[in-house]
Chain A
Amino acid sequence: MRANHGMDGTPGPALALLLGGPDDPGRSQGRGAGGHGTLDLMGALFVFMLATFIGLMAIQRVSRLLHTPLMSLTNAISAIAVVGALIVAAGPDAPVYVTALGLVAIFCSTTNIVSGFLITDRMLKMFKKRPGAVK
């Protein structure tokens, strides 16, 4: 029964999801703690596209002097994965191995947050202008 799901080609569940179908209680449980609801695929794609363009435009303006700190800063920012890791690790009724994976992911992301922001700041402190130089 399970194994046959999707073989018949019915787009049922996927379509219901796209159209924001009624939330199945089992499913919202499946989302785990954090209550982020069903996937709004189109909304998410819009956000992705807009964020990419903003990112491209903002990064293009970054001085080449600062490309190394930029990379360590974006490293720290990509540790935003901590959000997903937290949701997984804190999920109730999850098997132990799922919780364990989430905890390791929290560890990894926190490492990046702490080291990424600290070393970025450490590097940026070193960039100094020539004394008395006018801009």
Chain B
Amino acid sequence: MSADTLVQLLYLVATGLFIMSLRWMSDPESARKGVFSGVAAMTLAVAGTLVGVLSTGGTHYLWILGAFVAGAAVGYPLAQVPLTAVPQRTALSHAFGGLAAGLVGTAKFLLYYGQGHPEALAAPIVVALVLEVLLGFLTFTGSLLAAGKLQEIAWVPQRPVTYPLQNVINLGLFALALALGVALVLNPLAGWAPAAFLLVVVLSLAFGVLLILPIGGADMPTVISILNAYAGLSAVAMGFVLNNKLLITAGALDGSSGLILSIIMCKAMNRSFSNVLFGAFGQAPAAGTVQAASAYKADTPESAAQLMAQAGLVVIVPGYGMAVAQAQHRVRELYDQLKKRGVTVKFAIHPVAGRMPGHMNVLLAEAEIPYDDLVEMDEINGDMAQADVALVIGANDVVNPAARSDKSSPIYGMPIIDADKARTVYAIKRSKNPGFAGIENGLYYLDKTFMLFGDAKAVVGDLARQLAG
């Protein structure tokens, strides 16, 4: 068997294992098998590539080993971050993925150009190279900025940044990058080609920043998913450049995952892709905030605990505020206390609650709350009328009834968790300010709603103590 056949066979098995890996993710019971299958696939992929490299006289093995070791040394601590930091870790790894693809594309172009063979820079390959660096570097800076926003690094603007002609400037730069790409496809060996290529790189880097600047926290789940898809597609483009079917398959799996998650996120916010990317959120005027704030009815954890102890069904609606306050373990204590008193407790999970898809589920799983009690929005809404208490912990827009009724609201049409249909609503809120998107929430002014102001962790801990004592 020739070395090349062996390489292709290893790649073939790796491809199958990658597909099985995603297949096993369909159920929490089998999901860990998916990880092992993914690791096996990646090992075979690297082994296969090494076989190919060895058989064609590769070099720099010590350096390569060093790069592997350094990558593992950085990767290991990145896997140990607290789960509340998972969104920024994910964004950071999208950045690494994009950078890797962009660098490989740049290296390949310079290599082919240096060798001066027109066949090596045939039109389809140059198209793939341009797409690879465009998507790769755009994902790199965009994800870095997203990670900075999520980590709330001081000099990174948290609120959406908007300026006049924003979309015109962004699209103009994008068009310029595309035009350069077309010129490169037509004249890949021209004297100006490396300069043009590097300009595409610079434009892509700039475009990534400009694309993410106007995006606010509430849109992060969608944006992270889109960046996920881009990282995958840049790997696909690399596969076309290298004529490597494994790269194409694995990249396509990643790309389709990002695509599906983005669609789910967009649907959950009743918005389109273009609206997320080009229509900066959070510009809604927070009119009447001061006046309305007086209508809040505050209550004490004591009476809230009393009411919950007598309830039959308590539905807890967690949001980003729970993650920020790291309140998930206190929530678990509250869950235990209520269960002990025979109260049924369910968690209502909105698809865009938190800062990335599935964020709430992971935090609650970390607190060892059984996943059977984590209920999706569509399933729980039918039961909300039977709920004696809805306890909203740091969620805001996802329970805002204006989404159902107020046509002038920026979130009108977004599917929400019908917390307002429960008999009594308790909402834990850090302050009297409106939520991240700056939209006033009518839920807080209902007759049946009582506010528990304070840090989510402290308030939930207090509730649990009241129930225990």
Q: Which residues of A contact B (CB under 8 A)?
A: 2-3, 5-7, 13-14, 16-18, 21, 24, 26-27, 29-41, 43-44, 47-48, 51-52, 54-56, 58-92, 94-95, 97-99, 101-131, 133
Contact of A59 among B22, B125, B239 (CB under 8 A): B22
| Cβ B248 vs Cβ A51 within 8 A | yes
**Which residues of A are found within 8 Å of B243, using beta-carbon distances?**
31, 36-40, 44
| Cβ B248 vs Cβ A39 within 8 A | no
What distance in Å separates the Cβ of B16 from its nearest Cβ neighbour in chain A? 11
| Cβ B104 vs Cβ A85 within 8 A | yes
Q: Given contacts A34-B53, A90-B58, are A63 and B26 in contact (CB under 8 A)?
A: yes
Among the 9-residue stretches B109-117, B161-169, B302-310, the one with 4 or more Cβ atoms under 8 Å from chain A is B109-117
Q: Given contacts A32-B111, A82-B46, A99-B63, are A111 and B86 in contact (CB under 8 A)?
A: no
A126 to B366 CA separation, bound complex (whole angstroms): 5
Residue in B18, B242, B261 whose Cβ sees the most chain A Cβ within 10 Å: B242
| Cβ B31 vs Cβ A127 within 8 A | yes
Contact of A108 among B19, B103, B108 (CB under 8 A): B103
Q: Can you give 29 contacting A-B residue pairs, CB < 8 Å? A: A3-B189, A3-B190, A26-B120, A34-B242, A35-B3, A36-B242, A40-B243, A41-B124, A47-B249, A56-B259, A68-B359, A72-B93, A73-B38, A75-B93, A77-B18, A78-B235, A80-B235, A80-B251, A81-B97, A81-B238, A83-B246, A106-B64, A106-B100, A107-B70, A107-B71, A111-B96, A112-B97, A114-B76, A118-B79
Q: Given contacts A3-B191, A34-B49, are A24 and B93 in contact (CB under 8 A)?
A: no
| Cβ A110 vs Cβ B244 within 8 A | no
Contact of B7 among A35, A51, A120 (CB under 8 A): A35
**Which residues of A are found within 8 Å of B46, using beta-carbon distances?**
82-83, 86
| Cβ A115 vs Cβ B358 within 8 A | no
Flag whether B362 is at the interface (Cβ < 8 A).
Answer: yes
**Which residues of A are found within 8 Å of B189, using beta-carbon distances?**
2-3, 5-6
What distance in Å separates the Cβ of B266 from its nearest Cβ neighbour in chain A? 14
| Cβ A115 vs Cβ B79 within 8 A | yes
| Cβ A44 vs Cβ B245 within 8 A | yes
Contact of B75 among A35, A38, A115 (CB under 8 A): A115
Q: Which of B233-265 contact A (CB under 8 A)?
A: 234-236, 238-261, 264
What distance in Å separates the Cβ of A133 from its nearest Cβ neighbour in chain B? 5
What distance in Å separates the Cβ of B60 from its nearest Cβ neighbour in chain A? 6
What distance in Å separates the Cβ of B243 from its nearest Cβ neighbour in chain A? 4
What distance in Å separates the Cβ of B2 from its nearest Cβ neighbour in chain A? 9
A109 to B45 CA separation, bound complex (whole angstroms): 13
| Cβ A78 vs Cβ B232 within 8 A | yes
| Cβ B58 vs Cβ A62 within 8 A | no
| Cβ A86 vs Cβ B53 within 8 A | yes
Q: Given contacts A81-B247, A105-B100, are A48 and B236 in contact (CB under 8 A)?
A: yes
Q: Given contacts A105-B103, A111-B96, A114-B71, are A91 and B111 in contact (CB under 8 A)?
A: yes
A8 to B43 CA separation, bound complex (whole angstroms): 46
What distance in Å separates the Cβ of B150 from its nearest Cβ neighbour in chain A? 13
| Cβ B27 vs Cβ A109 within 8 A | no
**Which residues of B are found within 8 Å of A32, using beta-carbon distances?**
111
Q: Which of B83-116 contact A (CB under 8 A)?
A: 83, 86, 89-90, 93-94, 96-97, 99-101, 103-104, 106-108, 110-112, 114-116
A60 to B260 CA separation, bound complex (whole angstroms): 7
**Which residues of A are found within 8 Å of B349, using beta-carbon distances?**
64
Residue in B31, B101, B246 whose Cβ sees the most chain A Cβ within 10 Å: B31
Q: Which of B414-454 contact A (CB under 8 A)?
A: none
Flag whether B156 is at the interface (Cβ < 8 A).
Answer: no
A68 to B366 CA separation, bound complex (whole angstroms): 13
Residue in A14, A24, A127, A133 whose Cβ sees the most chain B Cβ within 10 Å: A127
What distance in Å separates the Cβ of B373 from its nearest Cβ neighbour in chain A? 7
**Which residues of A are found within 8 Å of B191, using beta-carbon distances?**
2-3
| Cβ B97 vs Cβ A98 within 8 A | no
**Which residues of A are found within 8 Å of B120, using beta-carbon distances?**
26-27, 30-31
Contact of A64 among B111, B250, B376 (CB under 8 A): B376
Q: Given contacts A2-B190, A44-B248, A116-B93, are A86 and B49 in contact (CB under 8 A)?
A: yes
| Cβ A126 vs Cβ B368 within 8 A | yes
What distance in Å separates the Cβ of B116 from its nearest Cβ neighbour in chain A? 7
Identity of the chain A residue whose Cβ is nearest the Cβ of B115 in the assembled complex: A30
Identity of the chain B residue whose Cβ is nearest the Cβ of A37 in the assembled complex: B243
